[in-house]
Every structure is written in C-alpha cells, then in structure tokens.
Amino acid sequence: MEVLMPEPQIYVERTLAIIKPDVIDKEEEIEDVILRSGFRILQKRKLQLSPEQCSNFYAEQFGKMFFPNLTAYMSSGPIVAMVLARNCAVSYWKEMLGPSNSLRARITHPHSLRALYGTDELRNGLHGSVSISSAEKEIRFIFPEAILEPLPTGQRARDYLNLYVKPTLLAGLTALCKEKPADPM
C-alpha cells in the first residue's frame, strides 16, 4: 500500500514592496533589480489608493507632521505593490531600500534604491515593511485574498525537517557516496 504524503512546502519570509507614484515609470528596472537580488515576486498589482485608503495604510504615522503630505503623495497616482519572498525578506529588502530620507541615502548608502530613485524624505520612491508582523498586516491590506501561512517554529520546524528535509538529504548524500563521482559538482 502506497502512503501519499503531502507535498512539502518551502516556507520563506515575505515582505511588501511598493513602487510609489513618482517612480512608476521605472517599474521594469526596479523589478529587474528585485529579481536579480534573489527575491521571487509572489503577487503583484497596480492600483491607485484613495486618500482614505492611504490614511488607513499609514495609520501608524497618524499625527505626525508629514502625515497629510504622505497620504496626498501616495494617492496622487498609481502604485505597484508586490509581495516579495526569500530568506530574510524583510531585513534584506530594508537593506536594499536604504534610509527613508533619499537625500541622506545618497550620502550614507549611495547604491541603495532610495538613493537611486528617491528625490527627498517624502518622495523616497519605494516602500518596505519594517517587520514581519507589519509585512503580514500590509500584505493583507493590499492583497486581501492572500493566504499567509505562519512560519513553523520550535517542534513544528523540527518535525518538518525530520519528515521532509533529512530523508531527502540522506538519500541524496547516500547516492552521491555510492557513485563517488570525480567532480561531484
């Protein structure tokens, strides 16, 4: 009797990336940089947010001096939102973006995306989630149909490794040892 095992899933971290209205014309160029950096684009959508939607999206910034300008700017034209996935996606994307102030980014992180595409502190070209929890919240906001599975931790992670990863590695390494190829790579 053959036992059918569920297909193993590869869990990777996700983050939200937004190409803001003033650099929408650089969409293909930015996507190319994203893909060459090891990200996968899981979902993508072009949309225009209303001022009310922008207020809800940036609710954590409410009350700050720049909030009205931010919501006006983000609702001024279409944006491209993408769910990016890779190992350590949130921190890697934040590193690629550089400081939120594009003027400072040009000095301290001249090769960052905000240094290359942003114009000032407000019009910094791109958005990135600041944490895994904010990434999940923001992804749900922009992609309400998205299914976000939690990353396994603790015993669930050990079970996954024992059930799927270790047997595959053991079989592959055993086969490699039996063959003893001159150049294993």
H-run or E-run covering 143: none
Position 180 confidence tier, pLDDT thresholds 50, 70, 90 = confident
Q: Helix (H, G, I), strand (E, B), or coil: what is residue 47? A: strand
Q: Taking the mean position of all CA atoms in its chain, how far away is CA 112?
A: 16
**What does the pLDDT read at residue 151?**
62
Residues involved in catalysis:
127
Distance CA 86, CA 113 (A): 18
Average pLDDT of the chain to the nearest whole number? 89
Supply the pTM of this predicted model. 0.75
- The residue type at 120: D
**How many residues are given for the chain?**
185
Helix axes 89-97, 132-142, angle to 10 degrees: 90
User: For residue 141, what pLDDT is reported?
Assistant: 95
